[in-house]
Amino acid sequence: MNVFLDIETIPQQPEHKAKKLIAETIEAPATMSKKETIDAWHNGEGKYAGVKDAAIEDAYRKTAFDAAKGEIISIAWAVEDEDVEGLVCHSDKGDDEEDLLVVFYAQLKDQLRDRLPYFIGHYISKFDLKFIWQRSVILGVQPPFKLHPHGRHGSDFYDTMYAWAGYGGSISQDNLCKALHLPGKEGMDGSKVWDYIKEGRYAEVAEYNKSDVETVRAMYNKINFISS
């Protein structure tokens, strides 16, 4: 049974501890060889003022893409042509991420009525499914069905990126929408999720997540010549 899926993630929590660790281990660019230049970079002197802080912030935000560090803040899905469902953690500390997964699995299982899910998403094989599975393992939440995080496009799941670009190829969801003459992202994108969460704008993140599922379903239908 087709299940269109998308998740939103946030960087490692708590933020201050994660950034402290990065600050203690981050290194100056490999292109720097002189000790005085490296010291200036670490100390933020002269033209290097704020450069290290920016590098720490960049490294921190990238933890949102690593399930060993980052966390799921929102999950949205739709079964076949049914309405899109969505769940969002109302905490930027990850306190209820485990509950999020438990409820997601329970609701989807109920919708499936003993049928197996066939997950569909953009870059779902390398990100969404793998991230959900890894976080489930870390938190000890057992999925009621196989997620196939290391499976194959077309058999274990359907990845719209692979369907369009082929093995080894890539295309962003927004660019694929443009190619297919479908509405793309407006006003918000994944890079802004963490900023919205810090501002307490959980509902907007949830709606953005749900809109991505609608977009994935539209792309899937267009690629497979399915009339909507």
pLDDT in tens, 148-206: 999 999 999 999 999 999 989 999 999 999 999 998 777 788 889 999 999 999 999 99
> Order of strands across the sheet with 118-121?
85-88, 71-79, 2-10, 118-121, 158-159
pLDDT in tens, 12-35: 999 999 999 999 999 999 999 999
- What's the average model confidence in pLDDT over 109-130? 96
Predicted confidence at residue 93, as pLDDT, reads 62
> What would you measure as the largest C-alpha separation in the chain, in angstroms?
66
Could you give the CA distance from residue 159 to residue 53 in angstroms, rounded to a whole number? 36
Average pLDDT taken over every residue of the chain: 94
Q: Which CATH class is domain 2-15+64-223?
A: alpha beta
What secondary structure, in 3-state letters, does 138-199 show?
A: HHCCCCCCCCCCCCCECCCEEEHHHHHHCCCCCCCHHHHHHHCCCCCCCCCCHHHHHHHHHC
